[in-house]
Chains A and B, each alone.
Chain A
Amino acid sequence: MKKKLNKAVSLVVAATVSVSVLAGCSKGDKKDSDKNGVTTIEFWAAPNPPQQAYWKEMAKEFEKENPKVNINVSAIKESPSSEASIQSAIAGKSAPTMSENINRGFAAQLAESKALVPLNEIEGWEDILTNRNMTETVEPWEFSDGNQYVLPIYSNPMLFGWRLDILKELGINEAPKTYSEMLEATKRLKAKYPDKFLWAKPDLADPTAWKRWFDFFMLYDAASEGNNFIEGNKLVADDKAGLQVLTFMDDLRKENAYLLKTVTDPFETGVGIFTDIGPWTLTYWEEKFPKMVYGETFTLAPPPVPDNMNTENVRTFADTKGLVIYASATDQQKHAAMKFISWVYANPEHDLKWLEQTNLPPARDDLAENEAFTTFFSENPALQPYANAVPFGIPSIDNPKYNELQTFIGQHAVNPIVKGKNTPKNGWNDMKKAIEGGL
């Protein structure tokens, strides 16, 4: 009897110790607020230092005025990707209250799975739109169910950079605007510098979905004048524009315009003379490549268009990301989060601070006119083309299967065409067939 008791006690002790250790890892039940009535919210910022610093500063200032709210700002883990970290956190029931850095496609995935709160259902949403002057900017972000799940923070129309110094050596004084002008530039480049390439970019041969935002979609949005690619569950792509883009890519290949091998800083070192550039690149250059001077070494231009098209007001892909609130947050946390967002965006100075720290254009209707920003852009001329292009930026598709669908664009169209393994017509048709099957 005693032996049995010993055995039972031993097992219970061992199990208790082990479970206690494991229980220590658990976060336990969520509470609306602590005994002092302080609501704590977890805010995951984009995994880049300027954005993280901005949100930490905002949180600190907000807490001074709102002692009943405590905001913990931390960076989204990037290993293996920020999206995977968020998905794991949701699956593991340890999602934050809110996070930034969410694009439309990923938001669509999260919204479909009911992981996000419709922001328009929380009190204070309309006030944010009015106070921040973003009623128009937010319109294209409406999802097919009529809800708004993301508050766009910045709207960044992507532009193409050209090595102006090398173009001038070729006798070209400004960035080519049409397909013919680009092909002519390529011919001159290869004649003078056979070892240089127009577009040194291994991503062109890589099917990874997001890479299409910075080649195919920039060109397609320009050629189609912003025609949608997918609407709801229907492929509505402009065939003529799509074929023009792929034919142009094929023509560039025939001129040996591409370098598809891994290459370090191709644009900065002059191996390639054309590349997609976002404002974040300019911040990077200030530190690492101070010789890259706007108007001297490089210039910025909208995507090239087919020859017969107007070269003014060209549409381009807009890299836009925003804030979301997760459905797993408590009601009190949701309201505290909304209060924080309202506070941040009620003051244009906060957007100016964001612009100064990150160089990313705030998603506001008045960006081009508001004096606070125009002064900034006149002092930072390289960012002016981005501000000018804001009205022509087209956000990414909002289909929950965007990853799979955009992979098809690479696999069937862009990748084989830049490698010369398929014709533009067949590539376009293969891609359409695959996407329609996926939808």
Chain B
Amino acid sequence: MRKQNGVGWLFASPYLLYAILFFAIPLVWSFYLSTTDWNLISPEYNFKGITNYIDVFRSPGVQAALLVTFKFMAVFVPLVIVMSMIVAAIVHGLPKFKGIFLIGFFLPYLASGVVSSFIVKGLLSYNSPLNTTLRGKFGMDIDWLGSPFAALCVVAVIIAWKFTGYYALILTSGFESINAEIYEAAAIDGANAWQRFFKITLPLLYPAIYTVIILSIGVTFGIFTEVYQLTGGGPDYATNTWQMEIFTQAFKNLQAGYASAIAIVASVVTFLSIFVIRKLLEMWGKRNGWV
């Protein structure tokens, strides 16, 4: 037993070391920095106690980041779940080449956020064919990135497009794990398509859906590239995410200590949010007898 423990430690040690070096030490270091006025490059800095944390809660940028994250969640999570569910259902129903189609849908996940943002910027430009048509034929002059709600939706749609293939992969494996005989038995019992979906597919797909929901909620706390490229957090903080605020304070305003405090608060909010949502999902599953 002891020998086995030794081998276990041996194999686990690189990861443990990695975790200590790249997670534990930075976390402690970040917490320490959050109590200082370090500007990122100066060798000298002072201890400020909890002042940075007080400033964090007063900051309009941080307050916006908190709200924006939940707004993104409200738009992005249902959108990506529905889209990935549709993709997974279509791929699952294919007779052949499921893998190839899945890879196709997965590719946006690998695409650079910078490149996709540039493409979207071109598509939504005032003089793009889309907007010229909307103005000319329908009299619609939409300020896609200049109005708060539209800008938020544009970013949410891009990220949903990016993650759909990835989540579809998880849901497809969920679909594949459902035994076809259950559907056959239900069909014999006279269950229609809706009943089969709500009584068989949804309960048996619950573990995969649970994973996808938790992962997609995690994504909303880490949005940066698309916002940085497309809106810079605007208009009027309407797309100012946690990451955008941390970047602005650390690298533009050179307030690394303050940015660390924001990062710590963001981590706590992320952890608490995911914890609460996880519990709600578990309650939902238990109430329906899916877990």
- Distance between Cα atoms of A87 and B252 in the complex (Å): 10
CB pair B17–A19 under 8 Å, yes or no, is yes
CB pair A262–B3 under 8 Å, yes or no, is no
Q: Which residues of A contact B124 (CB under 8 A)?
A: 262
CB pair A202–B146 under 8 Å, yes or no, is yes
A323 proximal to B (CB < 8 A): no
CB pair B145–A262 under 8 Å, yes or no, is yes
Per-residue A-contact encoding for B23-62, CB less than 8 Å = 1, 0 else: 0000000000000000111111000000000000000000
Residue picked from A261, A262, A263, A264, most chain B C-beta under 10 Å: A262
Q: Which residues of A contact B2 (CB under 8 A)?
A: 3, 7
Given known A-B contacts A114-B43, A271-B127, A18 and B13 have beta carbons under 8 A apart: yes
**CB of A258 to closest CB in B, whole Å:** 11
**CB of B286 to closest CB in A, whole Å:** 42
Within 8 A of B (CB), among A3-31: 3, 6-7, 10-11, 13-15, 17-19, 22
Q: Given known contacts A87-B254, A91-B41, what 7 new A-B pairs fall within 8 Å (CB)?
A: A6-B6, A18-B14, A80-B247, A87-B41, A90-B41, A262-B146, A271-B127
CB pair B13–A11 under 8 Å, yes or no, is yes
B63 proximal to A (CB < 8 A): no
Task: Give 8 closest A-B pairs by Cβ, nearest first.
Answer: A113-B42, A14-B13, A263-B126, A84-B251, A7-B6, A10-B10, A264-B125, A113-B41
CB pair B232–A115 under 8 Å, yes or no, is no
Question: Nearest CB to that of B131 among chain A residues?
Answer: A261
5 intermolecular pairs with C-beta atoms under 8 Å apart:
A10-B13, A80-B251, A113-B39, A262-B125, A269-B127
Given known A-B contacts A11-B13, A261-B143, A263-B127, A18 and B18 have beta carbons under 8 A apart: yes
CB pair A260–B228 under 8 Å, yes or no, is no
B215 proximal to A (CB < 8 A): no
| B253 touches which of A17, A79, A205, A403 (Cβ 8 Å) | A403
**CB of B110 to closest CB in A, whole Å:** 17
Q: Which residues of B contact A7 (CB under 8 A)?
A: 2, 5-6, 9
Given known A-B contacts A208-B232, A262-B126, A10 and B6 have beta carbons under 8 A apart: yes
A318 proximal to B (CB < 8 A): no
CB pair A205–B18 under 8 Å, yes or no, is no
Binding site for A on B (CB under 8 A): 2-3, 5-7, 9-10, 13-14, 17-18, 21, 39-44, 114, 121-122, 124-128, 143-146, 228, 232, 234-235, 247, 251-254, 256
**CB of B260 to closest CB in A, whole Å:** 12
A385 proximal to B (CB < 8 A): no
**CB of B256 to closest CB in A, whole Å:** 8
**CB of B230 to closest CB in A, whole Å:** 8
Q: Which residues of A contact B252 (CB under 8 A)?
A: 83, 209, 403-404
- Distance between Cα atoms of A208 and B248 in the complex (Å): 10
Q: Which residues of A contact B43 (CB under 8 A)?
A: 113-114
- Distance between Cα atoms of A261 and B146 in the complex (Å): 6
- Distance between Cα atoms of A269 and B132 in the complex (Å): 14
Q: Which residues of B contact A266 (CB under 8 A)?
A: 126-127
- Distance between Cα atoms of A112 and B40 in the complex (Å): 12
CB pair B251–A81 under 8 Å, yes or no, is yes
A110 proximal to B (CB < 8 A): yes
Within 8 A of B (CB), among A43-102: 79-81, 83-84, 87, 90-91
Q: Which residues of A contact B5 (CB under 8 A)?
A: 7
- Distance between Cα atoms of A202 and B228 in the complex (Å): 15
CB pair B126–A400 under 8 Å, yes or no, is no
Q: Which residues of B contact A87 (CB under 8 A)?
A: 40-41, 251, 254
| B228 touches which of A80, A115, A401 (Cβ 8 Å) | A80
CB pair A400–B254 under 8 Å, yes or no, is yes
Q: Which residues of A contact B247 (CB under 8 A)?
A: 80, 84
| B13 touches which of A15, A110, A113 (Cβ 8 Å) | A15
**CB of B131 to closest CB in A, whole Å:** 8
- Distance between Cα atoms of A184 and B13 in the complex (Å): 75
**CB of B238 to closest CB in A, whole Å:** 12
A42 proximal to B (CB < 8 A): no
Question: Nearest CB to that of B14 among chain A residues?
Answer: A18
- Distance between Cα atoms of A83 and B254 in the complex (Å): 11
Q: Which residues of A contact B41 (CB under 8 A)?
A: 87, 90-91, 109-110, 113, 115
**CB of A371 to closest CB in B, whole Å:** 43
Question: Nearest CB to that of B13 among chain A residues?
Answer: A14
Question: Nearest CB to that of B112 among chain A residues?
Answer: A79
CB pair A14–B14 under 8 Å, yes or no, is yes
Question: Nearest CB to that of A85 among chain B residues?
Answer: B251
A159 proximal to B (CB < 8 A): no
CB pair B10–A11 under 8 Å, yes or no, is yes
A206 proximal to B (CB < 8 A): yes
A259 proximal to B (CB < 8 A): yes
Question: Nearest CB to that of A90 among chain B residues?
Answer: B41
**CB of A33 to closest CB in B, whole Å:** 25
Given known A-B contacts A206-B232, A206-B234, A263 and B251 have beta carbons under 8 A apart: no
- Distance between Cα atoms of A6 and B2 in the complex (Å): 10
Given known A-B contacts A11-B9, A17-B14, A18-B17, A404 and B253 have beta carbons under 8 A apart: yes
